[in-house]
Amino acid sequence: MTDIDNITSSEDFYNNPSLSTAILKERSALENKLNSFEKIEDGFKNLKGLFELASAENDEGILLDLSRDILPLDKEVSRLEIELTLSGKDDKLNAIVEVHAGSGGTESMDFASMLLRMYLRWADNKKFKANIIAYNAGEEAGVKSVTFTVSGDYAYGYLKAESGVHRLVRISPFDANKRRHTSFASVFVYPEIEDTAEVVIDEKDVKIDTYRSSGAGGQHVNTTDSAVRLTHIPTGIVVACQNERSQYKNKDTAYKLLRARLYDYYKKKKEEEENRIQKTKKEISWGSQIRSYVLNPNRAVKDHRTGVTLYNSDAVFDGGIDEFISAYLIQAKDNI
């Protein structure tokens, strides 16, 4: 903090607005972590003092109060522990999330829409801002694919834990014979990066198509050819945006998506992990899932990477995925 304070107090600090803004955000994040640590430290000292007093006087009433008071402190310790795992270069950035229906037809499209709702509710619970930017509706129900952004502190750091294949097992509401069906959907998460020198897009390498928006209705449907699709010819990466009525705004957002995708692509290529990327994007089917949502015969949701299992599927689909995310982030940190 001392080094940052010295930088921010210099006379020419605000000569570079973008750099000064980034430094101030970093300073604010460090301050929040320090304040959280000091709050936990003070809480621990208070509880320790009360425990010593209760032990000396053999006061069971105080001990009972302590057993209740320690629970919020324990939650705060767990929250800070997770926050401290988010130390990656991109963790503090906003997130771009793609959900794609896999094998399973209408069932998988309905499952994809369930995952979309789950993430939107999670973002709302976190006080994050979510914005759907591309929506490809299913023929009968659900969604074939959807892309949305989540804006908030460490949105990417949290949501990167959700990348992978998700599996649903349930009695199908679309099956007149009430048989049990298994369906799949994939989730890909990318950091939303700014226009920096790290990613240079040559406009000659980009094919631009415009088309009329289509979707579930309301904000997803426009009456003009304002939707924009960008194809990056060298890599084959395709992005689209259709949520704005202005073609210019859709194009601007699409370029932001493309920049994020290219940043992710080149970063992984540089780290010589192209094989791992291809494995991540393999067929969305048996044997590749990171999490299973089994609604029949029981109602359990299990993360296969960490072993965490929750038995309240309704709460999970209502955005209650923090326990899965926390376990994954801690495990990933321990494996470094």
pLDDT tens digits, one per residue of 59-113: 777 778 787 888 888 878 877 878 778 878 889 899 999 999 997 789 999 999 9
% of the chain surpassing 70 pLDDT: 87
pLDDT of residue 62: 78
Q: Does residue 220 have a pLDDT over 50?
A: no
Query: What pLDDT score does 169 carry?
Result: 93
Same domain, 255 and 224: yes
Q: What's residue 275's pLDDT?
A: 52
- 22, 106: one domain: no
Highest mean pLDDT among 45-54, 265-274, 289-298: 289-298
pLDDT of residue 277: 40
245 and 209 share a domain? yes
Percent of the chain with pLDDT over 90: 44
Average model confidence (pLDDT) across the chain: 84
Verify that 216 and 289 share a domain, yes or no: no
Q: Are residues 112 and 260 in the same domain?
A: no
Whether residue 322 is contained in a domain is answered as yes
For position 224, what pLDDT does the model report? 65
Domain assignment present for residue 280? The answer is no
The last residue of a domain, from among 246, 270, 294: 270
Indicate whether 321 belongs to any domain. yes
Which of these three, 58, 85, 112, is where a domain ends? 85
> Does 174 have pLDDT greater than 60?
yes
In three-state form (DSSP H/G/I as H, E/B as E, the rest C), the secondary structure along the chain is CHHHHHHHCCCCHHHCHHHHHHHHHHHHHHHHHHHHHHHHHHHHHHHHHHHHHHHHHCCHHHHHHHHHHHHHHHHHHHHHHHHHHCCCCCCCCCEEEEEEECCCCHHHHHHHHHHHHHHHHHHHHCCCEEEEEEEEECCCCCEEEEEEEEECCCHHHHHHHHCEEEEEEEECCCCCCCCEEEEEEEEEEEECCCCCCCCCCCHHHEEEEEECCCCCCHHHCCCCCCEEEEEECCCCEEEEECCCCCHHHHHHHHHHHHHHHHHHHHHHHHCCCHHHHHHHCCCCCCCCEEEEEECCCCCEEEECCCCCEECCHHHHHCCCCHHHHHHHHHHHHHCC
Specify the pLDDT at position 223: 54
Listed residues 85, 107, 128: the one ending a domain: 85
Query: Which residue would you say has higher pLDDT here, 117 or 248?
Result: 117
Asked whether residue 171 falls in the same domain as residue 318, the answer is yes
Taking only the tens place, the pLDDT of each residue in 17-51 is: 767 777 777 777 777 778 878 888 888 888 888 88
Evaluate whether residue 276 is within a structural domain.
no
Q: In CATH, what number is assigned to the domain containing residue 262?
A: 3.30.160.20
The domain that holds 8 is classified in CATH as 1.20.58.410
Residue 113 sits in the same domain as residue 52: no
Residue 197 lies in a domain: no
Same domain, 159 and 301: yes
The pLDDT-based confidence of 57 (bands split at 50, 70, 90) is confident
The mean pLDDT of 280-307, rounded to a whole number, is 80
The pTM of this model reads 0.71
Which of 6-10, 19-23, 27-31, 127-131 is most confident? 127-131
Cβ neighbours of residue 222 closer than 8 Å, sequence gap 6 or more: 212, 213, 242, 245
Window from 152-161, 216-225, 318-327 with minimum mean pLDDT: 216-225
Q: Do residues 243 and 131 touch, judged by C-beta distance below 8 A?
A: yes
Both 50 and 158 in one domain: the answer is no
pLDDT of residue 302: 97
* Domains identified in the chain, total number: 3
Average pLDDT over residues 281-307: 81
Structural domain for 247, as ranges? 203-270
Based on the fold, state whether residues 147 and 216 are members of the same structural domain. Answer: no
Residue 222 has pLDDT above 60, yes or no: no
Q: Sorting pLDDT into bands at 50, 70 and 90, what band is 274? A: very low
Residue with the bigger pLDDT between 315 and 217: it is 315
Whether residue 228 has pLDDT greater than 90: yes
30 found inside a domain: yes
Same domain assignment for residues 79 and 99: no
pLDDT at 217: 45
Check pLDDT > 80 for residue 164. yes
- Residues 243-272 have a mean pLDDT of 86
